Structure 1
Amino acid sequence: MTQPQFSLAYLTVLNTPPPEMTYMASRAGYDFVSLRPIYMGLPGEPNFSLAKNKVLLRDTKTALKDTGLQLLDIELARIADGIDPSQYEPEMEVAAELGGRHVLSSIWTDNKAEAIEKFAKLCDLAAQYGLTVELEYVPIASVSNLAGVMDVLNTVNKANAGLMIDIHHFHRAHDTVEDLKKVPKEWFRFLHLCDAPGVIPSDRDEMVRIVREARSYVGEGGIDVASIINSIPQVPYSIELPNKRQSELLGYEEFARRCLVTAKEYFAKHPRQEKVNSY
């Protein structure tokens, strides 16, 4: 069994510019970096567009070259009302130029027909640049569980479309490892790794708070992470573990390092057992 590979995800070191994030990931011991060049227009969100900011692109290229890290994925190509997927194309082109592999997407419209049409278009755009599109479900989004993603992926039937499981979202959606047996193994290309309290909040605001700023180091929450990992093929693990308290206490770089150390310690204590279906 090959050693697991890890990427540093944007939300773990929120608002860190791509070049700085790349150097930080390298110093902390990661294999990949997962960037957010797609500006989402959220309150207080910095715009790290690599397609529009040529200096930022140049510095990011230099950082990747200096460190030898690879770009795993870019985010977040949301499917939502009023958004044309073609607006993501410039960032996909740059991602391909940087050697990126995947585009992360999620669906935030309740108009199913429109969601299917836009997601299919996103996949076709990404295919031009040799990129895959991984659809992530989020319990607070329109497509909120594994069954919903499976429905979309089976409907669009695109060769470069896949599923991105987030350990937190998987648990919060009440999905089970038995559900993973229904998923074609080729749909798995990377995974968001974290832990979280085992008790699922009934209050939406509290769920959102944990999602955004209170996830747990792997092995220090209440989720059976190993059973999920063992139920899918081995893929790169992008550590998406926002924790406001820990990152403020330690500083982003030490926090990112601690996220990786605890993940590796967990994997050492829970050796991978192959239980992957042969769908």
Structure 2
Amino acid sequence: MRTYSLAYLTAGALTPAAMLRLGAELGYAHVGLRLLPNGLGGPFQAWLDDPVQQRETLAAQRDTGVGVFDLEIIRIGEGFDPLAYRPLLEAGAALQAKALLVAGDDTDEARLVDGYARLCELAAPYGLSCDLEFMPWTAVSDARAALRVVQAAGTPRVAGILVDALHVGRSSTTLDDLRALPRELLHYAQICDAPGGPDLTVPQMIHTARCERQLPGEGVIDLAGIFAALPADLPISVEVPHQVRVARLGQTAWARAALEASRSVLNDPCESAP
């Protein structure tokens, strides 16, 4: 039976404690938190320097039994220093998180490989995997590039590759590329859907990714093929941001719809909590 995590982008307006309680209400086993912004001025959950939020989050974990799966986000660019992310690693240990979401932005691949290897070395004692997410607008644009970086880094013990259905659908990644990913590098995958469109620009792709994804089954991404190519027991992060529809339906109804649609597409008979 699959387990599901409520991704940050699906419920990013909530505090970590509120996400955990919502996850428990709806039947998610985990949540994903964004404790660092994805870019200058980007939104995030200001947990690292907030003792009140920290206490409330740990209490919500104890009360609900819902865990934290992944923490966002570490971006490896020019001048990357993994030591700057030690507070995030310490948060991961305190929250008993499983994974760090990593983006590769450095176009100098040798330097990117070195940065990734050093991050993995630093993260290992904290019990966190470093899951490199390929995205078509980054230096790690597809699954082949992600595997090349991980292998060039020596395939560290905590290395991982994160497969996001959106980025599979909008990159050059093929189903054979997914099948070629070693099982030990796959810790979880992200599910969503999206409309088609010829010659999407990078700003259009980024806007969809962050603000306007569709529920699984509503768009044109080959979700059946993607998840058939991945291990059947892989945990699923339900990452379906849609600012307009969340505002209209409310956060609870949207997070419930996202989970139900994900289970339907994956033919998972388990039903969410009422």
- Please, what TM-score do these two structures have when normalized by structure 2? 0.92
What does residue range 108-257 of structure 1 map to in structure 2 within 5 Å?
Answer: 108-157=105-154, 158-233=156-231, 234-257=233-256
Amino acid corresponding to residue 95 of structure 1 in structure 2: G
Change (3 A) 1:41 1:168: closer
Deviation at 1:81, TM superposition (A): 2.4
Change (3 A) 1:180 1:246: same
Aligned residues with identical type, % of pairs: 33
Whole-Å separation in 2 of the counterparts to 1:205 and 1:41: 14
What's the counterpart of residue 275 of structure 1?
Answer: none
Specify the SS of the correspondent of 1:189: coil
Amino acid corresponding to residue 249 of structure 1 in structure 2: R
Whole-Å separation in 2 of the counterparts to 1:252 and 1:113: 42
- Please, what TM-score do these two structures have when normalized by structure 1? 0.90
Contact 1:172 1:200 in 2 (8 A): no
Deviation at 1:83, TM superposition (A): 3.5
Change (3 A) 1:79 1:261: same
- The question of 1:30 aligning with 2:28 is answered yes
Deviation at 1:80, TM superposition (A): 1.5
Deviation at 1:181, TM superposition (A): 2.5
Contact 1:137 1:145 in 2 (8 A): yes
Structure 2 gaps of 5+ residues are 270-274
- The question of 1:12 aligning with 2:19 is answered no
Whole-Å separation in 2 of the counterparts to 1:72 and 1:101: 5
What's the counterpart of residue 272 of structure 2?
Answer: none
Specify the SS of the correspondent of 1:217: coil
Contact 1:104 1:133 in 2 (8 A): yes
Structure 1 gaps of 5+ residues are 271-279
Q: Which runs of 4+ in 1 moved over 6 A?
A: none
Whole-Å separation in 1 of the counterparts to 2:44 and 2:31: 18
Greater Cα shift, 242-251 or 261-270: 261-270
Whole-Å separation in 2 of the counterparts to 1:44 and 1:152: 26
Query: Number of paired residues?
Result: 267
Specify the SS of the correspondent of 1:25: helix
Amino acid corresponding to residue 237 of structure 2 in structure 1: S
